[in-house]
Each structure stands twice: as C-alpha cells, then as structure tokens.
Amino acid sequence: MLRKPVVLITGAGGEIGHGLITRLAEDGTHSVITLDVRPLEPGIARLVQREFVGSILDTDVLERILSEYEVDHVFHLAALLSTRSEFTPMTAHHVNVEGTINLLEFAQKQGESHGRPVVFMYPSSIAAYGLPDVESKMRVGRVTENEWTKPTTMYGCNKLYCEHMGRYYAKRYKQLAAETLSGKVDFRSLRFPGLISAVTIPSGGTSDYAPEMIHAVAQGKPYACFVRPDTRIPFMAMPDGVEALLKLAAAPKGNLNHTVYNVGAFNPSADEIRQVVLEAFPGSEITYSVDVKRQGIVDAWPADVDDTAARRDWGFAPQYDFKRAFSEYLIPTIRRRYQK
Ligand code: AKB
C-alpha cells in the first residue's frame, strides 16, 4: 500500500504554524499534516489534510505517521518559548530538546524508508545568543551566527543545542556512512528575531511586548510594557518569517554554506514601537512596568543580527521594514480584526 506524500508541521496551532498553513494552502502545492497537543482552530484545521492531536514526546504517534505518510519536509515548530521555559525548565528541556531529537529520528527513518533526504526546517531564535551586559550589547550591535553564542535561558540553551543536533544528523550520520545508515536529514535552521503577527497573539515569549502592545490598544485596553523604553532587539513581520522558512526550504542544497542562518528585518526600541502604536491609536494608554527577569532576558539578546549569509546564499529579502510592517500589515489587519 502506498503512503501519501506530505509536509509535516509540528506545533501547528502556534503563531508560525497559522501563517505557514495559510500560506501553503494558498499555494496548493503541498498536502499538509499536523501534530499539536491541542486541536487546531477550525479555520486552520480545514486547510490541512490530517490533524494529529498529540505530543512530540509520544513516539507512538510519530510511528503512526511514519506508517501512513511519506513525509518529505518537516517544519518542526513545537516549542515552549523563553519566558514560559524559565518557569518550567525541565518540561522545556523535555519538549524542546527530547521532542526535537524524536523528530530528527523520525526524519531519518522517513528518509531511509523512501530513499530521499527529508528537509528538516527548524526555527531557532536570537535566544541562542547571550551578551554579558547592556553596555556590550549596545557596543556590539549586529552579531553574526558564530559570535556571542552563550545563551542565558533554558530556551536559548535548548535552541542552540538542537542547532548542533541538527548539524550532527545532517553531517555525522553521513560520516559514519555504513550504506544502510546514510544521512537522510537535510537540516536547515533560521535564527528568528521576535516575530509579530497580526492574526495571532503570542504567549510565553519575551519578545511578546511588541505584539501585546498593538493587540491590547487595538481592543481599547491599556498596556503596561514589561521592558524598559530603551530596550532594543530585532523583529520581523510574520509574513516575512513564513516566506523565509519556505525560501530556505526550497533553496538548492549546493548554495547553502551554513546549516543555521540569522534573519532580521528591523530593530526598534520599545519606545519607538510605543510611539508608532500611539500615532495609530491616539488616546491609548501605554505605560511601563518593568519585569526584572524578563528585562534580563532581552538585555542578553542582541540589538541586531547580521543576516548577510542568508541574503547571499538563498536570497533572503524581507518585504516589511519597520514603517511598512506597521502601516501596511500590523495596524490595518489588527484594526480590522477587532472591529469585527
Ligand atoms: C521568545 O520571545 O521566546 C521568542 C523568541 C525570540 O524566540 N519570541
């Protein structure tokens, strides 16, 4: 009996999953199956061929998928984000590390069973960096992939380690090279900045102050920002994040000189975001109430990323700069969403 060729998305109900499923459905080129601990929202569920509700820690569900589907791409999005991971570090380690290894093993087995490498897309994060203090952060500015990789959070450590695991599966398996055990995982990773979506509200992240600010005032609610006004990290509008994932997934292997690429789009301070949001929603109330722990997390993240390698190797070119992201995507879409 033939298995059906599909793309697997884990953590599909999250922020990136929504954007990715919608975009793949518009394209109509791939059949999508999903795995998430919670059922998908009906609007998204109807766009996928099959929805598995379960955990990436459950290898039985992965075996079931292996037996029924021929997966050629994995978008492994499931993760506990940075703030949440600090409250439950052991759970974060289980989900973020052991879950990822389960998926890498799954991809290897898939590749062995159908004979082709499985493209394994892994969203890493600026949390993989760790700058020692704010002074260094501001002095250093843009960081390249191989500098300052001393993460300070459980989530950041998990992301950096899994980048290495992906590289191991892609390269080391090949080096062992017993014919039956050749490398079948074509691992490709993006170090994402804070992503801002107009259609979903994030939860558990530390870059969440930006999207939370816009979504709150658009609903007429006051917002107390949990970081200082001068806090600066890179951000990206969700459509550019989804496009980057698809573009890197489709890039010819021979063009890729790295397994992990920085991507960034704009890097406003929290107060610059506040000003733009206040202009769009005059009379709104946005104050500051600094959470020392969350501030500590973003203070260790870089003020900007150097994404030269991504632009050179596979043509990364974000469409939304700071002004356009707010005036053409975030503000109008979020306004419409809450007016409904
Ligand atoms: C988080 O804040 O944890 C994420 C991230 C930057 O990876 N948004």
**Span 200-251, pLDDT tens digits:** 988 899 999 999 999 999 999 999 999 999 999 999 999 999 999 999 999 9
- CA 17, 207, 300 angle in degrees (round to 5)? 125
CB atoms under 10 Å from CB of 5, counted, come to 13
209 annotated active-site:
no
Digit-coded pLDDT (tens) for 126-166: 999 999 999 999 999 999 999 999 999 999 999 999 999 99
Q: Which tokens is 166 given?
A: 């992906």
Task: For ligand 1, say whether the CB of 205 is within 6 Å of any of its atoms.
Answer: yes
Identified catalytic residue from 129, 155, 169, 173: 155
Supply the pLDDT for residue 181. 60
Expressed in angstroms and rounded, the spacing between residue 81 Cα and the centre of ligand 1 is 6
Domain 4-195+236-262 is of which CATH architecture?
3-Layer(aba) Sandwich (3.40)
Q: State whether the beta carbon of 126 lies less than 6 angstroms from ligand 1.
A: yes
Among candidates 105, 103, 149, 109, which has minimal Cα distance to 126? Answer: 149
Would the CB of 80 count as within 6 Å of ligand 1?
no
Residue 4 has pLDDT above 90, yes or no: no
The pair phi, psi for residue 8, each rounded to 5°, is -105, 130
The helix (H) or strand (E) run that includes residue 193 is none
Ligand 1 atom nearest to CA at 193: 6
* pTM for the full predicted model: 0.95
Domain definitions of the chain by residue range:
4-195+236-262, 198-234+267-300+321-339
Q: Would you call 120 helix, strand, or coil by DSSP?
A: strand
Q: Which residue owns the Cα nearest ligand 1 atom 4?
A: 205
**Rounded distance, CA 270 to CA 226, Å?**
10
Whether 82 and 227 have beta carbons less than 8 Å apart is answered as no
Q: Is the CB of 194 under 6 A from ligand 1?
A: yes
**Is the beta carbon of 153 within 6 A of some atom in ligand 1?**
no
What element of type H or E holds 223?
strand 223-225
